Amino acid sequence: SHPQSTEIYAKIDRLKSKAIENGFIFDSSWMTRSLNENETIESVLCGHSELLVIALNLIQEPAPKFIQVVKNLRVCGHCRK
């Protein structure tokens, strides 16, 4: 429902493609549920709120010099990489 959701997910897709291109392997051990019909391991892990907020900051103009993500819950190991 975010007004920039299209741009946020497009940025996530570009970052995901670049990561794979550079040899990053998504670790399915961080999956906490079964995949639905239209999902991949990459799409689920890249949909975590920590990564979405980073993508939101990266599409801002002017780009922020510092991004701080604060959560009161545990962050999965994939999001810490």
Work out the end-to-end distance of the chain between its first and last CA atoms, rounded to an integer number of angstroms: 27
Q: Is the pLDDT of residue 72 over 80?
A: no
Q: Which are the contacts of 21, defined by CB distance < 8 A and separation ≥ 6?
A: none
What is the pTM assigned to this prediction?
0.76
In this prediction, residue 13 carries a pLDDT of: 94
**Tens of pLDDT, residues 17-56:** 999 999 998 888 878 788 999 998 888 888 888 888 889 9
Q: Domain coordinates of the chain in residue numbers?
A: 4-60
CB-based burial, 20-47: b 16+ in 10 Å, e otherwise: eeeeeebeeebeeeeeeeeeebbbbbbe
Label residue 78 by pLDDT band (50, 70, 90). Answer: low
Contact 81, 34 (CB under 8 A): no
